[in-house]
Chain A
Amino acid sequence: MNFLYRFLFFSFLAIAILLITSCDYQPYKQGKNLYNFYCATCHMDDGTGLKGLYPPLAGADYLANNQSNLACIIRYGLSDTISVNQKTYNQAMPGVKDLNEVQITNVINYINHAWGNKLQHVKVDDIQKSLVDCQY
């Protein structure tokens, strides 16, 4: 009897561990969905971009160095020539007007933590403030 209980206990434990580890933990769910819908057509699902046409977001120095401009870039686009990881890009990026501040925050938090990126966690308040600077 004792053996049966012990067997059951360890089986449950094993199943519990398997369940926990098999769940794909994704804390930035909305951000990911929005990214895949609005951004991944050019920047790709894996954030690698497309050669010299569209810059990568995964491991991109530009992303790390321009955190305060990200919200403005997402909403209003970008037509400057920029340098990302020593490579020059000048294809204009259209803005995404459909996203509200909360959604922009979620997108930024997703790209800041996806594909090995380990950048800051941003709050809606900060995004609202940074969007004031680029209102046209």
Chain B
Amino acid sequence: MVKNFSIISLFALCLFFGCSTETGKLPVMGNKDVIDGKNVYHQISDFKFIDQDSNIVTNETFKDKIYVVDVFFTSCPTICPKVKKQMLRVYDKYQNDDRVSLISHSIDTRRDSVPRLKDYANKLEIDSKKWHLVTGDKEKIYDMADEYFLVALEDPSAEGGYDHSGTIILVDQNRLVRAHANGLIPEEVDRFMKDMDRLLLDNSVEE
């Protein structure tokens, strides 16, 4: 009887801890401040860039949308193509879902002109209304990367001249960063897309 009981309790324990909390709210990345008793989260500030179609891209472009961000450059000989392959999976899955958008920041302001971004977009066979490849003021681009918690820096010793992370991040309708994934690992991106589905259902924040 004692043995039976211990087996049952072990089973119950497994059930309890085995349950994932995937239905809960997504966390908010970054430092949290408390001002006047209210939580204040890290929020993406105003930005203005130019995309492959010479269109101006601002926060308004992503109004009421969730969007996925990465950094890259077109002549990147290292991790960018693999990250782009994963971004393409996200693009394909949400291609007809207007609530979702993608933005890739080029960190190579010397070489990545608008025509060059256009050429890259054409070869990736993507719709510029859905997926913006953007460039702009160099300092702003690097500030932006900081806000997204993405590493991006000029490094003459790195292959291609730039060092950057292969992380992709998810921003919600209120400019809060809600999820991230290593863009080189397909399984992480699977989980990331589940996070996207969760965010589309519920973008509220844990109080």
A and B assemble together: yes
List A residues at the B interface (Cβ < 8 Å).
Answer: 40-42, 44, 50-54, 91, 94
Contact B123 A41 (CB under 8 A): no
Choose one: A40, A50, A91, A94; the contact of B84 (CB below 8 Å).
A50
CB distance from B86 to the nearest CB of A (A): 11
Which residues of A are found within 8 Å of B81, using beta-carbon distances?
Answer: 41-42, 44, 50, 53-54
**Residues of B within 8 Å of A, CB-based: how many?**
13
Q: Does any Cβ of A come within 8 Å of B88's Cβ? A: yes
Interface of B is mostly: helix
Interface of A is mostly: loop
CB distance from B112 to the nearest CB of A (A): 14
Choose one: A44, A52, A94; the contact of B85 (CB below 8 Å).
A44
Contact B120 A53 (CB under 8 A): yes
Given A40-B82, A42-B77, 19 new contacts (CB under 8 A): A41-B77, A41-B78, A41-B81, A44-B81, A44-B85, A50-B81, A50-B84, A50-B85, A50-B88, A50-B124, A51-B123, A51-B125, A52-B124, A52-B125, A53-B81, A53-B84, A53-B123, A91-B123, A94-B77
Which residues of B are found within 8 Å of A52, using beta-carbon distances?
Answer: 122-125
CA distance A91 to B84 in the complex (A): 15
Which residues of B are found within 8 Å of A53, using beta-carbon distances?
Answer: 81, 84, 120, 123-124
Q: Residues 60-83 of chain B: 1 if any A CB is under 8 Å from the residue's CB, otherwise 0?
A: 000000000000000001110110
Which residues of B are found within 8 Å of A50, using beta-carbon distances?
Answer: 81, 84-85, 88, 124
Which residues of B are found within 8 Å of A51, using beta-carbon distances?
Answer: 88, 123-125
CA distance A94 to B76 in the complex (A): 11
